[in-house]
Amino acid sequence: MSRPNQKYLDTLLRYYEEEIEGEGYFYAIAARLKDPDERRKMQMVAEVETYAAAAVQPLLEKYNLTPAPHAELLAAGQKQAANSPGDFVHFVAKWRKEFPGYIDEFEALEAMAPPEDLRLLKILTDHEHAAIEFLEREAKGARDSTAPMQHYLETGTA
């Protein structure tokens, strides 16, 4: 087993915490949406964040990394949502621009990782691919826009 460097460990911990914050953020956005279909889609984005965090949690345990308390991370995400004005269409357009940049960050984490960690890190990276595909389908008005996220939640792959 390879011993990872501190940069890898710090990044892994930060990305895990950001997924939990994302869960709180997306659930908070969902809660304020009036349209039930939009609310359901936003809740699914939150579920994808939850799944991604759970996938890498064993790595935190493996390396004895201690994240901030779950409730604090959720609250931080909820606070970010409270400070993020906009409706569903606004968020889809905004995230279509932002989310692709995260792929490079997740792939950089994979590049730092010991080979035995890659299977779980791929699940983390794939959550972003699934979310991006959802956003692209949603922007095009596809009836099955959530299919990539549903597939991810069922398989852990994009």
Mean pLDDT by 10 residues, the chain (158 residues): 88 98 98 97 98 98 97 98 94 96 96 96 97 97 97 96
pLDDT of residue 2: 66
Class of domain 6-155: mainly alpha
Gap between the Cα atoms of 17 and 142, Å rounded? 32
pLDDT of residue 3: 78
pLDDT of residue 87: 93
Which residue's structure tokens are 């911990």?
Answer: 13
pLDDT digits (tens, 9 = 90+) for 75-96: 999 999 999 999 999 999 999 9
pLDDT of residue 1: 62
Gap between the Cα atoms of 22 and 58, Å rounded? 19
Domain ranges of the chain: 6-155
**Tokens describing residue 141:** 């008005």
Query: pTM for this one?
Result: 0.95
Render the burial of 28-43: b for 16+ CB within 10 Å, e for the rest.
bbbeebeeeebbebbb
